[in-house]
């Protein structure tokens, strides 16, 4: 969330791509490429996300939706090819 508040969408995608493509994660060198001045309080955003998850009945991950409808829990992501 701090990256998102400090950089544009393209830079955030690039930063995350570089992080996940590292075989051996080295936070210090990665952080030097994408510095963030100071931690930002995101509690208001997290509270609104929590309220939204409660409203749409997201209780865990993955929660799958197709055409705005929640898939029942017995379905797994790999079952989607049979549903669609």
pLDDT at 18 over 90: yes
Confidence of residue 46 (pLDDT cuts 50, 70, 90): very high
Lowest mean pLDDT: which of 33-37, 44-48, 52-56, 79-83?
79-83
42 neighbors 1 (Cβ within 8 angstroms): yes
Residues counted in the chain: 84
Distance CA 49, CA 40 (A): 16
- Three-class SS state of 28: helix
* Higher pLDDT, residue 59 or 50: 50
Element (H, E) at 18: helix 9-21
Confidence of residue 1 (pLDDT cuts 50, 70, 90): confident
* Higher pLDDT, residue 37 or 12: 12
């Amino acid at each position: 969330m701090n990256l998102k508040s400090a950089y544009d969408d393209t830079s955030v995608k690039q930063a995350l791509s570089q992080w996940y493509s590292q075989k051996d994660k080295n936070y210090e060198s990665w952080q030097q490429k994408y510095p963030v001045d100071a931690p930002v309080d995101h509690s208001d955003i997290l509270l609104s996300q929590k309220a939204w998850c409660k409203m749409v009945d997201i209780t865990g991950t993955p929660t799958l939706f197709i055409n705005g409808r929640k898939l029942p829990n017995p379905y797994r992501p790999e079952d989607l090819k049979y549903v669609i």
